[in-house]
Chain A
Amino acid sequence: MPDTPTKKLTRKDFTSDQEVRWCPGCGDYAILAAVQRTLPTLGVKRENTVFISGIGCSSRFPYYMDTYGFHTIHGRAPTFATGLKLANPELDIWMITGDGDGLSIGGNHLMHVLRRNLNLQIILFNNRIYGLTKGQYSPTSLVGKLSPSTPMGSVDNPVLPVGFAMGAGAKFVARAIDTDAKRLGAVLVRAHGFRGTSFMEVFQNCPVFNDGAFTDFTERATATETQLHLEHGKPMIFGKDKNKGLRLKPGALELEVVTLGEDGITEADLLVHDERNRPLAFLLGAMQPPEFPVALGVLLCEPDDSFEDRVLGQVERAIQKQGAGDLNALMRKGHIWTVT
Chain B
Amino acid sequence: MDTFAAKTQREDLDSVVIRFAGDSGDGMQLTGTQFTQSTALMGNDLATFPDFPAEIRAPAGTTFGVSGFQVHFAAHDIMTPGDAPDVLVAMNPAALKVNLADLKRGGMVVVNTGTFTKGNLKKAGYDNDPLEDDTLGPYRVLKLDISKHTLAAVEKFELGTKAALRSKNMWTLGLMMWLFGRDRQATVDWLRQKFAKKPEIAEANVAALNAGHAFGETAEMPSGIGCYQVPKAKLDKGTYRNVTGNEALAWGLVAGCKLAELKPVLGSYPITPASSLLHALSKLKNFGVVTFQAEDEIAAVCAAVGASWGGALGITSTSGPGVALKGEAIGLAVMVELPLVICDIQRGGPSTGLPTKTEQSDLLQAVWGRNGDCPLAVLAAATPGDCFYMAIEAVRLATKFMTPVMLLSDGYLANGAEPWKIPDVNALEPFPATQHTAREGFHPYLRDEETLARIWPVPGTPGLEHRVGGLEKDYNSGNISYDPDNHHRMVKVRAAKIDKIAEHIPPQDVCAGPEQGDLVIVSWGSTFGSVHQAVRNALAAGETVSHIHLRYMWPMPRNLGDLLRGFKQILVPEMNNGMLVRILRSEYLVPAEGLNKIAGQPFKVSEIETAIADKLAASK
Residues on A facing B (Cβ under 8 Å): 2-3, 16, 18, 45-48, 50, 52, 55, 62-63, 65-73, 76, 78-88, 90-91, 108-109, 111-112, 311-312, 314-315, 318-319, 321-325, 327-328, 330-332, 334-340
Contacts and interface: CB of A to CB of B under 8 A. Distances in A.
Interface in B287-332: 287-290, 292, 294-296, 298-300, 302-312, 314, 328-329, 332
B462 A76 contact: no
A112 B237 contact: no
A87 B310 contact: yes
Nearest to A17: B479
Contacts of B265: 83, 86-87
B239 A337 contact: yes
5 contacts: A47-B460, A47-B464, A48-B459, A55-B470, A339-B236
B293 to A, nearest CB: 10
A72 B302 contact: yes
Interface in B217-244: 235-242
A311 B414 CA distance: 27
Kindly name the residue among A45, A79, A314, A318 whose own CB sees the greatest number of chain B CB atoms within 10 A. A79
A340 B240 CA distance: 11
B40 interface: yes
Given A332-B422, A338-B238, A47 B459 contact: yes
Given A318-B285, A323-B286, A327-B255, A84 B306 contact: yes
B387 to A, nearest CB: 13
A109 B294 CA distance: 9
> Which residue of B251, B459, B464 has the most chain A CB atoms within 10 A of its CB atom?
B459
Contacts of B480: 18, 63
Interface hub of B258, B460, B462 (most chain A Cβ within 10 A): B460
Contacts of A108: 295-296, 299
Nearest to A65: B467
Contact of A87 (B37, B263, B463, B469): B263
A69 B299 contact: no
Given A62-B469, A82-B267, A331-B241, 5 more contacts: A78-B299, A80-B303, A86-B307, A88-B310, A319-B288
Contact of A83 (B310, B423, B470): B310
Contacts of A72: 302, 305, 332, 469-470
A335 B310 CA distance: 39
B352 interface: no
B284 interface: yes
A86 B310 CA distance: 9
A332 to B, nearest CB: 6
Contact of B285 (A45, A70, A84, A314): A314
Contacts of A70: 306, 309, 336, 467-469
B128 interface: no
A73 B471 CA distance: 10
Contacts of A311: 290, 292
B467 A79 contact: no
A68 B465 contact: yes
B37 A335 contact: yes
B7 interface: no
B425 interface: yes
B619 interface: no
A322 B284 CA distance: 10
Interface in B123-178: none
Contact of A80 (B302, B423, B471): B302
Interface in B332-372: 332, 336
A256 B479 CA distance: 53
Contacts of A83: 265, 267, 292, 302-310, 312, 314
Contacts of B292: 82-83, 86, 311
A71 B480 CA distance: 11
B465 A66 contact: yes
Contact of A327 (B186, B251, B307, B464): B251
8 nearest A-B residue pairs (beta carbon):
A71-B469, A83-B306, A87-B310, A325-B287, A83-B303, A80-B306, A318-B285, A79-B302
B466 A318 contact: no
B466 A69 contact: yes
Nearest to B282: A314
B379 interface: no
Given A46-B465, A112-B299, A327-B255, A336 B306 contact: no
A88 B310 CA distance: 6
A331 B499 CA distance: 35
A68 B464 CA distance: 8
B427 to A, nearest CB: 10
A66 B329 CA distance: 25
B558 to A, nearest CB: 33
A79 B269 CA distance: 13
Interface in B414-459: 422-426, 458-459
B460 A48 contact: yes
Contacts of A46: 462, 465
A334 B302 CA distance: 35
A328 B287 contact: no
B254 interface: yes
Contacts of B298: 76, 79, 109
A90 B237 CA distance: 48
B424 A69 contact: no
B43 interface: yes
A339 B295 CA distance: 46
Contacts of A18: 467, 479-480
B299 A335 contact: no
B41 interface: yes
B461 interface: yes
A303 B422 CA distance: 48
Given A73-B329, A332-B422, A79 B465 contact: no
Contact of B295 (A112, A315, A335): A112
A318 B424 CA distance: 24
B240 A71 contact: no
A336 B40 CA distance: 8
Contact of B258 (A88, A312, A318, A327): A327
Contacts of A325: 254, 284, 286-288
A47 B463 contact: yes
A322 B306 CA distance: 29
Contacts of A331: 241, 251, 422-423, 425
A67 to B, nearest CB: 5
Contact of B303 (A79, A90, A319, A339): A79
Contact of B186 (A50, A111, A335): A335
Contacts of B300: 79
Contacts of A80: 302-303, 305-306, 309
Contacts of B306: 52, 70, 79-85, 87
Contacts of B465: 46-47, 66-68
